[in-house]
């Protein structure tokens, strides 16, 4: 499934009326200022709404929207999810993470799911019952990194577990627990049902006979409901704030003219 482009337009009836008024006064630079100010108002409103609807959002999440400012004498400002904005890596995670919440959709595969796809049968994953979680309820990135390393799935070969280290860990973990790693590398292994279907990634705990479920594979993710209607939030802000910024720019221009400034 292709990832949707999430760009929020800066437009409304009140804004168009205000810009026409500024255009009639010859205040083209001030038109640019108005739409840029409204774009920043919109991102502030989105940040406030994320604090309300998400549980313990990270700063990365709260700062995931970026203003694409209008150039001088233009009125084409917009708001975009940060990795879809010019100058940002289109392959980064912000749009994949937020798009379902903005548009209501299924998310795409995470990079770790792509890496695990050959072993998982191209399934998605959710945290297992024994997964180490961070303060935001997500599996710690360091744990995912160790899983990929131990299963030799890292994009960077230098981060994969060496043959010598794998053999040492396999000998140690098999002494501590049942021999059901099926020859896989290190202390992590892919568990399978009797029919061979991959069910998750497990880890030897160090306690004889105890295996930890770190990742559980799921064939299909449920569709997300839209809980952050970004365009609606921004449009409401523009309707509410457009006239204020138009009047502010008119006042600024009048004051500069009275002071003899261009």
Q: Are 19 and 76 in contact (CB under 8 A)?
A: no
DSSP string, 133-179: B-TTSSBPHHHHHHHHHHTT--SSGGGSPPHHHHHHHHHHHHHHS-S
DSSP 68: E
pTM (whole model) above 0.85: no
Residue 104 has, within 13 A of its CA and on its CB side, a CA count of 6
SS3 75: coil
**Is residue 2 situated within a structural domain?**
no
Tens of pLDDT, residue by residue over 60-100, are 888 889 899 999 999 999 998 876 555 554 445 566 667 76
Query: Predicted confidence band at 150 (pLDDT cuts at 50, 70, 90)?
Result: confident
**Is residue 98 situated within a structural domain?**
yes
Tens of pLDDT, residue by residue over 184-220, are 444 888 888 888 888 999 988 777 778 889 999 998 7
Cα separation, 60 vs 74, in Å, equals 30
How many domains is the chain partitioned into structurally? Answer: 2
Tens of pLDDT, residue by residue over 241-262, are 999 999 999 999 999 888 876 5
**Is residue 1 situated within a structural domain?**
no
Give the domain extent around 228: 7-106+223-258
User: 233 and 154, same structural domain?
Assistant: no
User: 19 and 94, same structural domain?
Assistant: yes
User: 99 and 178, same structural domain?
Assistant: no
The tokens of 29 are what? 């630079």
User: 229 and 148, same structural domain?
Assistant: no
């Amino acid at each position: 499934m292709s990832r949707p482009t999430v760009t929020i337009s800066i437009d409304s009836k009140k804004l168009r009326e205000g810009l026409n008024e500024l255009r009639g006064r010859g205040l083209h630079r001030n038109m640019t200022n108005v739409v840029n100010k409204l774009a920043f108002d919109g991102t502030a409103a989105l940040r406030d709404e994320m604090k309300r609807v998400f549980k313990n959002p990270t700063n990365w999440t709260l700062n995931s929207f970026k203003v694409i400012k209008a150039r001088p004498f233009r009125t084409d400002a917009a708001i975009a999810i940060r990795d879809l904005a010019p100058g940002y890596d289109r392959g980064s995670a912000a749009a994949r993470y937020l798009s379902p919440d903005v548009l209501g959709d299924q998310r795409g595969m995470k990079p770790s799911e792509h890496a695990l796809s050959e072993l998982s049968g191209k399934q998605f994953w959710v945290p297992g019952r024994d997964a180490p979680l961070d303060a935001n309820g997500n599996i710690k990135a360091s744990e995912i990194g160790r899983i990929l390393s131990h299963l030799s799935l890292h994009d960077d070969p230098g981060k994969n577990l060496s043959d010598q280290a794998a053999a040492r860990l396999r000998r140690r973990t098999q002494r501590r627990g049942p021999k059901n790693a099926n020859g896989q590398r290190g202390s992590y292994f892919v568990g399978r049902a009797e029919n061979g279907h991959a069910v998750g990634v497990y880890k030897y705990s160090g306690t004889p006979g105890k295996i930890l479920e770190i990742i559980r594979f799921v064939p299909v993710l449920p569709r997300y409901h839209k809980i952050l209607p970004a365009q609606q939030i921004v449009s409401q802000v523009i309707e509410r704030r457009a006239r204020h910024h138009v009047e502010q720019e008119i006042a600024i221009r009048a004051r500069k003219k009275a002071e003899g400034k261009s």
